[in-house]
Chain A
Amino acid sequence: MGRGPQQSVPVFCVGRRLLRPLQREDALLHVIAPAILFTLLVSGGVGVALALPRAGRMPQVVGAATAGLAGGLLILAMTIRAGADAPNVYFYIFSAIALGAALRVITHDRPVYAALYFVLTVISTSGLFLILSAEFMAFAMIIVYAGAILITYLFVIMLATQAPEEEDVEVLADYDTTAREPIAATVAGFLLLAVMTVMMLHGTAGLQKPLPVEPNALLADMPRKVESSLRNHGMMDTGDQIAIDETTGKLMIDGVKGEIVIKMESGLTATLKRDEWPSDLRVKNVEGLGFDLLRNHPGTIEIAGVILLMAMLGAVVLSRKQVEMDEDAKAAQSRQLSERRLSDPGAAAIGRGPGGGE
């Protein structure tokens, strides 16, 4: 009789742990009401499913408008709840452009335009990075993505597209104008989105705010920057030096306390407090990022280098390979050629290529 309750306790605990996310609905309510969230997710899903290309049988604009409206209302509903905690107004501009362009990437039936809309997404994402005070990553994103990767994509699109015949209007390929399983894919995608948003909104509500850190703590590792900045602003004369702590042997730059001790030529020392520092004496985003990258993740950089090298080798090996055209494709091409010859014997007699005539 004594064992009964003992056994039931762990079961009860497990049950309660499973139920706890459901009970903590206030966390979700804090950001957005669940009913609004799910309604908007469903209407957004319907919109995206309608906006996907279906050989012109559907009004894509209606779908895109529905999806855009749902996305906008979702962010708006969150903002109304957020009140004073709402993000910067630039956040709304950049995320609206980014998401709208992302929708166009997946719905546009011409690959070149999809690639160009992707550039727009990259640029507005960089705007979001700027708001999040990640200046280096914002510009790296534009340079690497918009400048390098997208140009490669555009080249491949140009290389791997059949040139349109001269006489007929440009016909879009069937595989560009018809989506594959649009409804099933949208349902799967928006189920994932629902799970992700609910988890994220629950999770962020319970996050501890971090302690405010002193970004200038890194100044102790940049004595030359400190020295040149002080010299440029006339706070150190030619004979002056930054004092060295005799017990530790380190330069006396304390970014956390905000003190720099200078040993003057006469032998006296002077302490510069933070409010006396020149305005450019602070750790910039690139400097902090560089310290984190090279000091905390040196092995990862090596691995990244190896990945890039392997990708380069792989690309070279793949593109050097001579490819025999597939039998079916060969047959299809010869059939196409003979059909053209039948329909226009004159052109065939002059030459095969469209520009082969005069």
Chain B
Amino acid sequence: MNTLLLGSTLAQSGFPAPMSEITLAHYLVVSAIMFTLGLIGFLTRRNLIVMFLCTELMFQASGIALIAFSRFHLLYTGQTFVIFVLTVAAAEAAMALALVVLLFRRKESLDAEAWKDMQG
């Protein structure tokens, strides 16, 4: 069985042979599941830090999809976009964590519900 040929599709360099669209579908499903888990986590968790951790999970999922498409189309642009996703994730983490520390100092609690009286 082809699945058991270990390392047969591990790339040595550059881009190897084209990938089938069924293999692409596997990666996309994994990416979709991970995105959904991140979304559910963002909606259900009440700890501000864990909520932002879940957004990072969603960034990861988008990265998997981008790189799978990059491999399928044999183009480097998908990988280039993951660099930009990484940039945005880093910027978001820096800002969000500064904000979380600020909010924590104010209410002495990381509960997102503590801020439900905010308008808008």
Contacts and interface: CB of A to CB of B under 8 A. Distances in A.
B54 to A, nearest CB: 6
Given A105-B41, A318-B99, A84 B83 contact: no
Contacts of A102: 34, 37-38, 57
Interface residues of A, number: 118
Contacts of B11: 133, 135, 285
Contacts of A216: 14
13 contacts: A52-B40, A88-B7, A132-B70, A141-B63, A145-B56, A156-B100, A157-B49, A175-B47, A193-B32, A201-B25, A215-B14, A292-B79, A315-B97
Interface in B5-56: 6-11, 13-18, 20-30, 32-41, 43-47, 49-50, 52-54, 56
Contact of B32 (A90, A148, A176, A197): A197
A185 interface: yes
A69 interface: no
Interface of A: 30-31, 44, 48, 52, 71, 74-75, 78-79, 81-82, 84-91, 95, 98-99, 102-103, 105-106, 111, 114-115, 118, 121-122, 125, 128-137, 140-141, 144-145, 148-149, 152-153, 156-157, 159-162, 173-176, 178-182, 185-186, 188-190, 192-193, 196-197, 200-201, 204-205, 207, 209-210, 212-213, 215-216, 282-285, 288-289, 291-293, 296-297, 300, 304, 307-308, 310-312, 314-315, 318-319, 321, 323-326, 328-329, 332-333
A216 to B, nearest CB: 7
Question: In terms of DSSP, what is the predominant structure of the interface of chain A?
Answer: helix
Given A185-B44, A186-B40, A304 B84 contact: yes
A293 B18 CA distance: 22
Given A31-B25, A91-B26, A98-B30, A329 B18 contact: no
Nearest to A212: B18
Contacts of A162: 108
Query: In the complex, which range does the number of interface residues on chain B fall in?
Result: 35 or more
Contacts of A156: 49, 97, 100-101
Interface of B: 2-4, 6-11, 13-18, 20-30, 32-41, 43-47, 49-50, 52-54, 56-57, 60, 63-64, 67-68, 70-77, 79-80, 82-84, 86-95, 97-102, 104-113
